[in-house]
């Protein structure tokens, strides 16, 4: 897997009476990058995967169909996560030191 590099910067948004702290994340997706993960300033972690529009649309349609079907107990399957590259991205993240 090829990991997309990221840059995280702290910003403050104009919230009117009170400013709102936030993080700006820039991810540099190169042609062969498949995933990325980074830590925000509040120490929460983001894990992302890259997929084609066709794969994303097919998985989304299948999940929406499962949502609409009464009695379907599992709306999102491991096969959906596999197809979207999320399983591999989480595995890659877990193996990082």
Tens digits of residue pLDDT in 15-54: 889 999 999 999 999 999 999 999 999 999 999 999 999 9
- Which pLDDT score, from 0 to 100, does residue 72 have? 86
- Which pLDDT score, from 0 to 100, does residue 70 have? 87
pTM above 0.75, yes or no: yes
Mean residue pLDDT across the chain: 95
Phi-psi category of 16—alpha, beta or left, where left has phi over 0 and alpha has psi -120 to 50?
left
- Whether the predicted pLDDT of 97 surpasses 80: no
Q: Are 48 and 84 in contact (CB under 8 A)?
A: no
- Which pLDDT score, from 0 to 100, does residue 20 have? 93
């Amino acid at each position: 897997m090829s990991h997309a590099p990221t840059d995280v910067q702290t910003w403050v948004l104009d919230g009117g009476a009170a400013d709102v702290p936030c993080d700006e994340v820039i991810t540099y997706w190169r042609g062969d990058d498949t995933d990325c993960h980074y830590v925000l300033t509040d120490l929460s972690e983001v894990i992302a995967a890259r997929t084609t529009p066709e794969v994303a649309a097919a998985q989304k349609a299948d999940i929406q169909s499962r949502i609409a079907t009464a009695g379907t107990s599992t709306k999102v399957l491991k096969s959906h996560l596999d197809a979207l590259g999320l399983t591999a991205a989480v595995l890659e993240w877990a193996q990082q030191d």
